[in-house]
Amino acid sequence: MTDQQNEIIARLQNHTCHPDTYPNMRRGAVLICFAPEPSGELGVILTLRASTLRTHPNEVCLPGGKADDVDESLIATAFREAEEEIGLLPSQHTYITTLHPFVSAHLLIVTPIVSMMNADADFEPRVNPDEVSDVFTLPLSRFLSSYNHSKQDLSWYGQIWKYHTYGVPHIPDVINEREYPVTGFTAAVLLHCAVIGIGGEVCNLEEFEEAEVEDGKSWEDIFITTIVESGELERRQRRSRRPQRKSSKRSGKRTLRNHKKTENSRI
């Protein structure tokens, strides 16, 4: 790994966030798994959701999902979901840190778990076609770039939330016919991760609406507290159906692509 990559990992390892004291209901996790790219940057493994999914079809997301009774922790949730969705084995990557929770559009409290692909992993994606139609990487630095980036303010439960869109092409002068925009929840999570790992001083994108925070709490902490105190999480929990287990069916091997000049890359 390069010095720059090691510095990013070190910043993330040293990061601490406000303690998670939220109710053990409607919880989930996503995995931000880094893989070194030929360019020397750290790539983030992303997926394109299958077109047949009922919610958010054909959208870019991080591997992840709802916490299951079999999960000992949210780290276990993220690792399990990554294995189910893209065939990434727990032995192929190493835990780095946990970021503060975010809230999904369906009011799921989702915790980002950060990991690093092991040098000897020899990872080749094996996707669950019921959920994933493509696997690719983008450099983490993409989410600090204003190139093809836009944002809009949305009012959600009385709070102003910034909806970020990273459009295509992601990198100037690089043509890739299979690029996908990164928006909403996934964009917000990766922007936050980039601010921590690369450094906020180089970020010219406003992550959240300005608000007073205390005791290390984030904007998301304040928002989650608002949702919990409103009783909406409990109402959603009562209405939710028992989640179904995912299919173990997987397709053949896929090549993990990155969006540098060498578009096909094995990691």
- pLDDT digit string (tens) for 38-81? 888 999 999 999 988 888 889 999 999 999 999 999 999 999 99
Residue 254 has pLDDT above 90, yes or no: no
pLDDT score of 57 = 85
245 falls in which pLDDT band (50, 70, 90)? Answer: low
Give the angle subtended at the CA of 127 by the CAs of 120 and 60, to the nearest 5°.
100
pLDDT score of 65 = 95
8 falls in which pLDDT band (50, 70, 90)? Answer: very high
pLDDT score of 55 = 81
Residue 53's contacts (CB-CB under 8 Å, 6 or more residues apart) are 131
pLDDT score of 101 = 93
> Using CA atoms, how far apart are residues 196 and 201, in angstroms rounded to an integer?
10
Residue ranges of domains in the chain, CATH in brackets: 3-241 (3.90.79.10)
pLDDT score of 45 = 97
How many residues does this entry show for the chain? 267
* Strand-pair partners of 160: 155
Positive/negative CA dihedral, 8, 257, 167, 172? positive
What are φ and ψ of residue 92, in 5° steps? -95, -5
Strand bridging mode 64-66 / 109-117? unpaired
Structure tokens at 20: 């998670």
**What's this model's pTM, rounded to 2 decimal places?**
0.84
pLDDT score of 252 = 54
Helix pair angle (3-13, 184-198), 10° resolution: 110
> Using CA atoms, how far apart are residues 256 and 267, in angstroms rounded to an integer?
7
The mean per-residue pLDDT over the stretch 207-230 comes to: 67
pLDDT tens by residue, 138-163: 999 999 998 999 999 888 877 788 89
Structure tokens at 217: 């709490």
Residue 264 has pLDDT above 60, yes or no: no
pLDDT tens by residue, 71-120: 999 999 999 999 999 999 999 999 999 999 999 888 899 999 999 999 99
Mean of the per-residue pLDDT values of the chain: 83
pLDDT tens by residue, 123-142: 999 999 999 999 999 999 99
Nearest to 53 by CA among 192, 246, 265: 246
Strand bridging mode 60-61 / 93-98? unpaired
